Amino acid sequence: MFRLRYLRAALLFPLLASARMVHPQAAGTAVAAADPAYDEIILLPSLESARSAIAAATTDARLADEMSARARTERTRNRSQIDIAKSELETVKRRLELAKKEKNEAQTAELQAQRLATETRVRLLERWRDVHEAAVRVSEAQQAAADARRKAAEGEIELIEKKNQWNARAGADSSAATAIGDELRRSARRLLELRRTDAERRRELAERERQGAQQQLDLLEARVKAGR
């Protein structure tokens, strides 16, 4: 019997807690003194930690911007190298066809070796292109993740300040407490949405980083295969 009563109490407790949060007056407590108890749902950092997170996110965004600029420069240079190598390959192919028509075996053998070497160089340059493009995508995801983290930290500060206002108004008239409570609920919802976006951007960043690592592995294997 004791166990049954305990189980019933355990099941009812979250419902009663929820009722106190949503309808504080129904719980028999004055609105001004009712704490929405968002700590039960949202774990908030200290103000110092939230401000440190904003500073770190700002630094991350700056570093990501620098990385993006370098990656874009390398990608542009790489694309030019690919165009030059492909042009050289077409020239070698035309000379090879001519050598074959002229039945110049020595020159044909030499040009076939040049064609294979140039084709290998083109493939390696294209691998490099893939690596640079992946780096650009990673830097973009880093910027988005840093921006989302900064906004989430700002939302945390906002909610902390609203909670402080709520606590400072404890015992005040019900209309003032209700207004602050409404602001507190809006801030809490906004923070949860910002944290959800933050998690989504970090997940997208992780996937971009995974793809970038795969492109680097492909380049490494291609260079080993080419003996370079």
CATH number for the domain spanning 92: value is 1.10.287
Q: How high is the pLDDT of residue 30?
A: 33
Query: What is the H or E stretch that residue 123 is in?
Result: helix 105-168
pTM of the model: 0.74
| Tens of pLDDT, residues 148-201 | 999 999 999 999 998 888 777 765 666 766 777 788 888 999 999 999 999 999
- C-beta atoms surrounding 98 within 10 Å: 13
Contact 65, 142 (CB under 8 A): no
Q: How high is the pLDDT of residue 3?
A: 38
Q: Which domain holds residue 79?
A: 47-226
- C-beta atoms surrounding 35 within 10 Å: 17
Structure tokens at 172: 């005040």
Q: Is residue 24 in a domain? A: no
DSSP state of 90: H
Q: Is residue 41 in a domain? A: no
Q: How high is the pLDDT of residue 26?
A: 35
Q: Is residue 107 in a domain? A: yes
Q: Is residue 14 in a domain? A: no
Residues 6+ apart with CB under 8 A from 157: 47, 50, 51, 54
Q: Is residue 21 in a domain? A: no
Q: Is residue 37 in a domain? A: no
Above 50 in pLDDT, residue 7?
Answer: no
b/e burial code for range 50-61 (CB count within 10 A of at least 16 → b): beebbeebeebb
Q: Is residue 127 in a domain? A: yes
Q: How many domains does one find in the chain?
A: 1
| Tens of pLDDT, residues 12-67 | 333 333 333 333 333 333 333 345 556 568 889 999 999 999 999 999 999 999 99
